[in-house]
Amino acid sequence: MHRNLFCLIVDDEEPSRLIIMRNLDLLNVDYDFAKNGIEAIEKLKENRFDFVLMDISMPGPDGMEAVRWIRNSSDDYHKNLPIFALTSYSGEERTEEILDAGMTEHMTKPFDVVRFKEIIKKYLEVTL
């Protein structure tokens, strides 16, 4: 039996979260969400997600700070959890900075379902 994937959406803007949630619903992916880096860290302490969609620009600890905390955790789950950066910024320098911070992959907004499927297949070896 196929199990649904479980995603943590981390984004401080409700319209962005709603778009992402609608697209995940279409792909039959279950999700929870956090509005900032602190909430994300707390949820990651309490739950096991298959992957994270992390906005980079948020108040408080931003996505870069949150991913550094996650990657510095002592357990393998947090060190290996696929974390996909979501940002409106593109360009090689920005992508390199995002990956150096500990993100698994960089996706630009608006949420692109085709690109998302490619990334999921690449890192989670599942079909959506």
Specify if 50 maps to a domain.
yes
- The residue written with tokens 């789950």 in the block is 77
Question: pLDDT confidence of 81, banded at 50, 70, 90?
Answer: very high
Residues 6+ apart with CB under 8 A from 120: 5, 51, 126, 128
- At 1 the pLDDT is 35
Number of domains observed in the structure of the chain: 1
Residue among 69, 76, 64 at smallest CA distance from 100: 64
Specify if 1 maps to a domain.
no
Specify if 34 maps to a domain.
yes
Specify if 17 maps to a domain.
yes
Specify if 128 maps to a domain.
no
- At 126 the pLDDT is 76
Question: pLDDT confidence of 89, banded at 50, 70, 90?
Answer: confident
Angle, in degrees to the nearest 10, between helices 37-46 and 63-71: 30
**What's the alpha-carbon Rg for the chain, to the nearest Å?**
13
Residue 3 has pLDDT above 70, yes or no: no
Specify if 46 maps to a domain.
yes
Average pLDDT score over the chain: 89
- At 50 the pLDDT is 96
Specify if 60 maps to a domain.
yes
* Chain segment 16-40, per-residue pLDDT in tens: 999 999 999 988 899 999 999 999 9
Specify if 25 maps to a domain.
yes
Range of the domain at 53: 6-123
* Chain segment 38-73, per-residue pLDDT in tens: 999 999 999 999 999 999 988 878 899 999 999 998
CATH number of domain containing 95: 3.40.50.2300
Distance from the Cα of residue 31 to its chain's centroid: 11
- At 61 the pLDDT is 84
